[in-house]
A and B are shown apart, each in its own frame.
Chain A
Amino acid sequence: MDAAAPAPASPGAPPAPAAEPLLHIDGLHLWMRSFEGEAHVLAGVDLRLARGEVWGLVGETGCGKSLTGLSVSRLVATPPGRYGQGRIVFDGQDLLRLDEAQVRPLRGRRIGMIFQDPTTNLNPLFRVGDQLVDVALAAGAHSPQILGLAPGASGAQRRAAARELAARMLERVRIPDARARLDDHPHQFSGGMRQRVLIAMALIGRPDLLIADEPTTALDVSVQAQVLALLKEMVAEYRMAVLLITHNLGVVAQTCSHVAVMYAGAIVERGPVRAVLAAPRHPYTRALLKALPTRATPRGGLEGIPGVVPDLVHPPVGCRFAPRCARAGAACLGAAPALAAVAGAHEVACVHPHGPD
């Protein structure tokens, strides 16, 4: 079990709810080899997820949020990737220290993943039911209770149980006529329905942690809302921890309980979603929110953020946002600032954070 329990409870009192993080990404560093050299794509990522929490991980394209998600499932190829110091502690185990054979049983069964494009993420040549059944069987190989069978069950029995489970999952994600639809191929489903199927696939193994990488970006706005609502329901029902990776702050506001803002490979601000969005402290977060048009925005009044993202092959020393920050000072160019609490669970990694206005 996780050795470091935060805030020891006073004797006699019940422990604080959701105290132990299910997932603790602790100072993760990742380098990626590319044409121009080695890019330092993750520079000390720090995240803590507890059961029942839906964490939004936001940032612009290229900031490393997808790589963070992939790292948890150890799906980043090494080479060209190379992990430095840091740990990914999942339920007491450091996933980075495990080899492939030890990680695989976790995938699908304890850690589920959903990717962005529902069109390309389902195998077009196989029936949807087949794909669901295979995932269920793989999970069931390590945790027979998923299939609801005794350990000595035959292959045929396991298949039948898996198929039953697949049908029930499709019903759960509100695919009409689910049982018949098991025999359909992906191209016979609409985009939104395909994403639901992928959700069903990700959750059929009853994972404790779900990593969703831009699950609604490829969908129409109306379908987006439905899929997000579905996700929220199932998260609550299964008591999962969720890492929802997105660049869309609207999605975060709707669906997440917490949010972490990422810039150039590091978390710059994190905390409960209301707190962070209502009163952003980091200059980057503030600028992001200001860039969103609202009803109050005057015509021609959209503000961008000056400058470009840093070159990760030769990243700036110190705070990576400093070159673009209006509030940057000499102190920002020394060492990269660490996350520090500004109000309760609301933390910022900045030398000159904004005040609580």
Chain B
Amino acid sequence: MRPDGAGISAAAAVSAPRLDARREAWRRGVYRFRQSRMSMAGLVIVVLLVLLALLGPSLAPHPEHIAGGVSTAERFKAPSAQHWFGTNEMGQDVLSLVLGGARVSILAGLAVVLLGALAGTVVGAVAGYAGGWTDELLMRLSDLKLTVPGLILAMAVAAALGPGIVNMVFAIALSWWPGYARLVRGEVMARKQELYVTAARAVGAGPGRIVFRHILPNVMTPVIVKMSLDMGFAILTVASLGFIGIGVRPPTPEWGSLLSVARGYMPDYWWTAIFPGAAILLAVFGFNLLGDGLRDVFDPRSRR
């Protein structure tokens, strides 16, 4: 467009030897990822969290509290050497509870994203490949979700289904899948016309085989990027519903519900709320950083 010096460097450009295009893009992406300190920080946080989620209860100094044990003599102790995060109204060690809650929140968040992605991918693939009435119908169906904000929808469905973690996960996933459906549908439609599809059809492959074996593997990348971006918000939604009182039943610790109970003891016993809240913030932030970084790796054009 304008001669600001960009054209001049083109003259001096040297063409690189042709490597496999995808591998080259991957390597450049990884390089960019490593360059970004924020993305690396996100990766570190996430790895830490995942470890905590898996090992949490074993690392906790008072695993019995996670299971519901109380210790009323130790009520409301401020943070100290024995209890890094202090104790709550039942004498339970807040650090242990937060660690226990990590497992619930992260695994639940993961379940939500996986379920939503799976359902959405299937619907999107079918809609994209079949086209016509099926497509219209499925897309109208997924658009319905757009009429109600996600949290409200999840709340209503969870309330309808009844308490429990499984119901909660299902309820949240219900508001998640349309995003994936749209994404996959678009990608499948774009690839429907490509040569390898026609070739597969010529050989006699049925639509199911074509979609699942040939098209979907190519579509996986944006889906994975979206999944990583969604992880943070999934955890946030799980915590939000926990705060309202949906999902986890006591005594299972969950960050949102811990915060909800702690509200009543402000400001004197601030540690009962601050630490679970900070845990949520850290987890969501870490996953968002990672997701952002991954998106830059796979799709730098969308960087803003």
Which residues in A have some Cβ–Cβ distance to B below 8 Å?
Answer: 32-36, 39, 41, 61-62, 64, 66-67, 70, 76-77, 80-81, 120, 308-309, 311-313
Among candidates B1, B2, B8, residue contacting A39 with C-beta atoms closer than 8 Å: B8
The answer to whether A308 and B3 touch across the interface, beta carbons within 8 angstroms, is: no
Across the two chains, which residue of chain B brings its CB closest to A80? Answer: B5
- A62: which B residues are within 8 A, CB to CB? 3, 7-8, 11
Could you say which of B2, B4, B8 has the most chain A C-beta atoms within 10 Å of its C-beta?
Answer: B8
Q: Contact mask B7-23 → A, CB, 8 Å, 1/0? A: 11101100000000000
The answer to whether A80 and B8 touch across the interface, beta carbons within 8 angstroms, is: no
The answer to whether B7 and A61 touch across the interface, beta carbons within 8 angstroms, is: yes
Could you say which of B3, B7, B9, B11 has the most chain A C-beta atoms within 10 Å of its C-beta?
Answer: B3
The answer to whether A36 and B7 touch across the interface, beta carbons within 8 angstroms, is: no
The answer to whether B5 and A32 touch across the interface, beta carbons within 8 angstroms, is: yes
Please count how many residues in chain B sit with their CB below 8 Å of the partner chain's CB atoms: 11
Q: Nearest chain B CB to A324's CB is how many angstroms away? A: 14
B6 located at the interface, meaning its Cβ lies under 8 Å from any Cβ of chain A in the complex? yes
The answer to whether A32 and B12 touch across the interface, beta carbons within 8 angstroms, is: no
- C-alpha spacing A41/B12, complex, angstroms: 14
- C-alpha spacing A77/B5, complex, angstroms: 11
Among candidates B2, B3, B4, B12, residue contacting A36 with C-beta atoms closer than 8 Å: B12
- C-alpha spacing A66/B2, complex, angstroms: 8
The answer to whether A32 and B11 touch across the interface, beta carbons within 8 angstroms, is: no
The answer to whether A66 and B3 touch across the interface, beta carbons within 8 angstroms, is: yes
Secondary structure dominating the interface of A:
loop
The answer to whether A313 and B2 touch across the interface, beta carbons within 8 angstroms, is: no
The answer to whether A34 and B9 touch across the interface, beta carbons within 8 angstroms, is: yes
Secondary structure dominating the interface of B:
loop
8 residue pairs, one from A and one from B, having the closest CB atoms = A32-B5, A66-B3, A34-B5, A34-B9, A39-B8, A35-B9, A36-B12, A34-B8
The answer to whether A308 and B7 touch across the interface, beta carbons within 8 angstroms, is: no
User: Given A34-B6, A35-B9, A70-B2, 16 more contacts at CB 8 Å?
Assistant: A34-B8, A36-B9, A36-B12, A39-B8, A62-B3, A62-B11, A67-B3, A76-B4, A77-B4, A81-B5, A120-B1, A309-B11, A311-B11, A311-B12, A313-B8, A313-B12
- C-alpha spacing A311/B11, complex, angstroms: 7
- B6: which A residues are within 8 A, CB to CB? 34
Q: Nearest chain B CB to A247's CB is how many angstroms away? A: 13
Q: Nearest chain B CB to A286's CB is how many angstroms away? A: 24
Across the two chains, which residue of chain B brings its CB closest to A311? Answer: B12
- B9: which A residues are within 8 A, CB to CB? 34-36
The answer to whether A32 and B8 touch across the interface, beta carbons within 8 angstroms, is: yes
Q: Nearest chain B CB to A147's CB is how many angstroms away? A: 31
- B1: which A residues are within 8 A, CB to CB? 120
Across the two chains, which residue of chain A brings its CB closest to B6? Answer: A34
- B7: which A residues are within 8 A, CB to CB? 61-62
- A34: which B residues are within 8 A, CB to CB? 5-6, 8-9
Q: Nearest chain B CB to A70's CB is how many angstroms away? A: 8
The answer to whether B4 and A80 touch across the interface, beta carbons within 8 angstroms, is: yes
- A308: which B residues are within 8 A, CB to CB? 11
Q: Nearest chain A CB to B17's CB is how many angstroms away? A: 20
- A61: which B residues are within 8 A, CB to CB? 7
Q: Contact mask B82-102 → A, CB, 8 Å, 1/0? A: 000000000000000000000
- C-alpha spacing A34/B4, complex, angstroms: 9
Q: Contact mask B199-222 → A, CB, 8 Å, 1/0? A: 000000000000000000000000
Q: Nearest chain B CB to A77's CB is how many angstroms away? A: 7
- C-alpha spacing A122/B75, complex, angstroms: 70
- A66: which B residues are within 8 A, CB to CB? 2-3
- C-alpha spacing A35/B7, complex, angstroms: 11
Given A308-B11, A311-B11: A39 in contact with B3 (beta carbons within 8 A)? no
23 contacts between A and B (CB under 8 A): A32-B4, A32-B5, A33-B5, A34-B5, A34-B6, A34-B8, A34-B9, A36-B12, A39-B5, A61-B7, A62-B3, A62-B7, A62-B8, A64-B3, A66-B2, A66-B3, A67-B3, A77-B4, A81-B5, A120-B1, A309-B11, A311-B11, A311-B12
CB contact list, B1-47 vs A, under 8 A: 1-9, 11-12
- C-alpha spacing A34/B5, complex, angstroms: 6
Across the two chains, which residue of chain B brings its CB closest to A77? Answer: B4
- C-alpha spacing A309/B12, complex, angstroms: 10
Among candidates A70, A77, A120, A312, residue contacting B8 with C-beta atoms closer than 8 Å: A312
- B5: which A residues are within 8 A, CB to CB? 32-34, 39, 41, 80-81
- C-alpha spacing A81/B3, complex, angstroms: 11
- C-alpha spacing A309/B3, complex, angstroms: 16
Across the two chains, which residue of chain B brings its CB closest to A38? Answer: B5
- C-alpha spacing A81/B5, complex, angstroms: 8
CB contact list, B105-158 vs A, under 8 A: none
Q: Nearest chain A CB to B151's CB is how many angstroms away? A: 35
- C-alpha spacing A76/B3, complex, angstroms: 9
